[in-house]
Amino acid sequence: MIAIAKTKPSYGFDIIKAEIPKINEYEVLIEVKYASICGSDVHAYVWDDWAKETITEFPRVLGHEIAGVIVEKGKHVNSLNIGDFVAIESHFWCNVCYNCKNGDFHVCKNTKILGFGVDGGFANYLKIPYTNAIKVPDNIPRHWISLMEPMGNAVDTVLSDEIAGKNVLIVGCGPIGLMAVGISKICGADKVIAMDINEHRLKISKEMGADYIINPKTENVYEKVMEITDNVGVDVVLEFSGSEVGFKEAMKTIKEAGRLSLLGLYSKPFEFDFNKYFIMKGLKIYGIIGRKIYSTWYKTISLIQKMNLDPIISHVLKLEEFEKGFEDILNGRAIKVVFKVS
């Protein structure tokens, strides 16, 4: 089979030939049909500091947003069948640490992530523990299914507390932020405001259901939000940008006793007035990591059937065209890139 791998500690990936993985009695073999690029894959592609700390073995096959068909299963796999179309939970948990024993598999102390700690799914075939294969209904478009992995992050961010009837500011309209726009509307949010410096992404946010858009380059964020909310401020800020400037602008707009949910990761620490904006406002603050296993998957399966993800998908490419996908993301020409794997 062919696979896309980081073969050396430098910029870019390579196409390699690899053996089809051999499964054990508790695993399934997936024939990969679709795979999509995550921001963390881009970090690995450009070989930044995060990637240097994360990828320590070469070659490493990348890819953790995966969808495919089960073509082989171990003898102890009874809940899945050959021919099932599945999404993939990308976090491998240990089942023995304190967090796992308390049901918090998403924060397992010994987590390995597909494509980083173990070989991933930018390949023709992938083996995984059968517990990581999520069978999906037939009515979900197959080219959307790899997006269910990052969509779970959006689901947990939006639904970390009440959303129905709330005014919401979504900071950062990358793929997950755009998904959060749609999820917020489906789950009953009142006014959904999308904020980004990219006009094309703001346009897509309108297609996903945003009621208002703000470009901080051309508008005063605080003044615009106050105008939209009758000088009250937003009930909820959902932060996906990982931008220090975006975060600080958003925090000015949140009302007292509001809610902040953070998924975006910041490139470096920064100073912030916690007294004024967190403590004295009495905010509820949530840090979001991964997806809850398995409750988020059930929510995602339900919500994806009420959404249209096609506006988010800017590219559908062959796996062999991976360089175009990554370079277009880096050059701002792509939103979500999906590989159709032959």
Read off the pLDDT band of 210 (50, 70, 90): very high
Distances from the Cα of 318 to the Cαs of 311, 341, 342, in angstroms? 19, 6, 8
Q: Distance between CA atoms of 244 and 286, rounded to whole angstroms?
A: 17
| 280 to 84, 166, 231, 269, 283: CA distances (angstroms) | 52, 21, 19, 22, 8
Distance CA 205, CA 213 (A): 8
pLDDT at 267: 82
Write out pLDDT tens, residues 244-287: 999 999 999 999 999 999 999 888 899 999 999 999 999 999 99
Domains of the chain: 2-151+291-340 (3.90.180.10), 161-287 (3.40.50.720)
How many Å is the Cα radius of gyration of the chain? 20
What integer pLDDT is reported at residue 342 of this predicted model? 76
In the numeric block, the tokens 């964020």 are attached to 221
Tell me the two tokens of residue 194.
Answer: 């999308």
% of the chain exceeding 70 in pLDDT: 100
CA dihedral 112, 114, 117, 119 (to 10 degrees): 140
Phi-psi category of residue 230: left, alpha or beta, with phi > 0 → left and psi -120 to 50 → alpha: left
Give the pLDDT of residue 182.
Answer: 98
Strands 192-195 and 313-318: unpaired
User: What is residue 290's predicted lDDT score, i.e. its pLDDT?
Assistant: 81
Quote the CA–CA distance of 176 and 167 in Å, as a whole number. Answer: 19
pTM recorded for the entire structure: 0.95
Q: Tokens in use for 105?
A: 């598999």
- pLDDT tens per residue, range 85-109: 999 999 999 999 999 999 999 999 9
Q: What is the number of other CB atoms lying within 10 angstroms of the CB of residue 184?
A: 29
Displacement of CA 319 from its chain's centroid (Å): 20
